[in-house]
Structure 1
Amino acid sequence: MNKTKPLAIIAGAGPGLGQAVARKLAQENYRVIGLRRSLPSAERISGVEFAQLDLQDNLATEQTLNTYISRYGPPEILVHNPAKLMIKPFLETTAEDFVMAWKSMVLSAVNVCQVVLPHMLQSGQGNIIISGATASLRGGKNFAAFASAKFALRGLAQSLAREYQQQGIHVAHVILDGIINTEASRSLHKLASERMMSPDDIAKIYWQLIQQPRSTWSHEVDVRPQQETF
């Protein structure tokens, strides 16, 4: 085992929030493994190792994560970030669309947590942060598939927190109530930067959750831009 730094795993380490969290944890002296469906062509982040993985494949997820864990030791942090945004009228949303949304956001979380949790339990500590959205709390028009999956993900986070908190595992669900400022979102929404959430600022919130003392753990926090209505 080559454990020189504590291990952090980012499930869904794509451009924007995933990479911002990976970068922040690397700066805090963690060895970071970023999991994503396709490897980045140009991005390189010091202290972050990217791995290509379909998180919906439970066998591949188990094999990949256990390889890293055997090499670097039990993970102290797991951040679950995948999301499949699907905006369609309900009558145009197929059963396959619902399954796709659920697999992307819920099954992927189930797969990574089932691998990581036993190692965290053995070490008696761990932090699991799950990225939610406005749709975790409120189903909007044309968001039936997306919101139903985000509701399910929130329920999973609540169950994990209540089952494992007393065994030293801090499970936090973060409601991201707004649009994250990325190149893709800027071109799509045409919003000023102050109307969007900075990925680096969200990463700081995640780090604050990780640092919370055991006497004052938060399970759920919501964050939004100052100009966002709610």
Structure 2
Amino acid sequence: MTSKVAVIAGVGSGLGASLARVFSGQGFKLVLAARNVAKLDALATETGADVISTDVSDPASVENLFHAVDGIGPLSLAIFNAAGRVRGGIADLDPEEVKKALLVGAYGGFLFGQQAARRLQATGAGSILFTGATASVKGFANSAGFAMPKFGLRGLAQSMARELAPKNIHVAHFVIDGGIASSDPVRSPESTPPDRWLSPDAIAEAYLAIHQQHRSAWTWEIELRPWVENF
């Protein structure tokens, strides 16, 4: 049984993969969750992670994910990186698609955070980290279907931080205020101006730093943006 177990929900080729690599490098045994786990084969091999197919909007699926974590060892870190998004004008949005976005981005965060909190309260230590976005604090035009789940996730994180900090559980919310670099040529790290896109590896290092903070100086929320990003 390892003493450093982390679960990450919402893992793909971007930030989720960078988080897996950074925490694997720190000696964590990882459990990675995604709807489509076939895409994680190479990452699982690279990081030695267990991979669990998970629908974060389904209570039974999230519970199954954490049962898998229990089989490895005591949880010390939980990262919710899943998101629900639908774009469009308010008069044109499909109500069912908006509902799905809310279930994944906000309700899913609640289900994930609840399962993590139960385990960390039992051990008396650990971190729960939530990935937010510019939409967590700004509701842009034609973005109601993204702002709603992100606002909800931020409220969840703030409430959990206030409740769980006195129990030695660190809850933090990350406002990723800008686009993240990817293999898409449009979001290439070499695009102009320099550092227009946030490096997913650099973001992951910030998650590690927050997890490692001394409890006398905890951060509940941090904003990350490129130096060329307006705010």
Instruction: Decide: shared fold, TM above 0.5.
Output: yes
Match of 1:34 in 2: 32
Paired letter, 1:198: S
| Change over 3 Å in CA distance of 1:21–1:147 after alignment to 2 | same
Equivalent-residue separation in structure 2 for 1:167 and 1:208 (angstroms) = 20
The secondary structure found in structure 2 opposite 1:43 is helix
Match of 2:90 in 1: 90
The secondary structure found in structure 1 opposite 2:2 is coil
Match of 1:7 in 2: 5
CA positional deviation for 1:63: 2.1
Match of 1:199 in 2: 200
| Change over 3 Å in CA distance of 1:187–1:4 after alignment to 2 | closer
The secondary structure found in structure 2 opposite 1:118 is helix
CA positional deviation for 1:185: 7.4
Equivalent-residue separation in structure 2 for 1:26 and 1:187 (angstroms) = 26
Match of 1:20 in 2: 18
Equivalent-residue separation in structure 1 for 2:2 and 2:137 (angstroms) = 40
Q: What RMSD over aligned residues (CA atoms) do the two structures have, in Å?
A: 1.7
Q: Which piece of structure 1 moves more, 55-64 or 14-23?
A: 55-64
Equivalent-residue separation in structure 1 for 2:94 and 2:5 (angstroms) = 39
CA positional deviation for 1:144: 0.7
Match of 1:225 in 2: 226
CA positional deviation for 1:159: 0.6
- What are the Cα deviations for residues 122-178 of structure 1, in whole angstroms up to 9, with x where unaligned? 110010110000000010011011001111110000110111110011000010000
Q: How many pairs align?
A: 226
Check conservation: 1:66, 1:115, Cα contact below 8 A: no
The secondary structure found in structure 2 opposite 1:92 is coil
CA positional deviation for 1:222: 0.3
- What are the Cα deviations for residues 187-229 of structure 1, in whole angstroms up to 9, with x where unaligned? 69x9546100000000000000001000000001101011111
Q: Which runs of 5+ in 2 are unaligned?
A: none
Match of 1:112 in 2: 112
Equivalent-residue separation in structure 2 for 1:170 and 1:32 (angstroms) = 19
